[in-house]
Structure 1
């Protein structure tokens, strides 16, 4: 996966915003002010940190050497994925979507409804 493809993927979810709160090199993707992905898009190799269900996070780490506990994040809830080609792009897409969905599921119902409306109005 290329940096442009990762950026497009993360930006494509309803209500997603890209910010740079830490430095000009680290893209932080948020929904309703909550982080669901962090990536230094210029890093080589490219990597992305994603929120993950704790049980699934451990399974993914065991199955894929390029998936490790979240770098500088809560290691129970976050994974960092090195996008060196060893993790299939489809799995990366699923992990990004799961991260977004996890964050959205923890939002107040009112915020969730707003995001559904945004998704419907962009179709």
Structure 2
């Protein structure tokens, strides 16, 4: 199963905290709790968990229902990003979120390249209609 980006981000925050506590990282080099505040991690994790649940039932559904699930998660992620002053998801995080959406769909039997092709877009564009981050 695809690992949620929020889980990876949390692991990085925890690792940084451990290094700070052990004295192996200088406080001046610590920034991950600022980059990934708890509110961002929790909200993102909840949004992605809801997406997973939505996708579980999509295996035999039509394209519009799949795109509706994509739209739903992207709009929630837009809100989370806005709640964090439009800086919740930087370039790397955006890429991780898009890959997670793609991989989650594929893991649930949805042929993402074919899905995108039927809409006349590339697989990297499946979130573009709604994504503001």
Bucket of the pairwise TM-score, normalised by the shorter protein = under 0.3
Structure with higher helix content: 2
| More RCO (CA 8 Å, sep 6+) | 2
Structure with higher strand content: 1
Larger Rg over CA atoms: 2
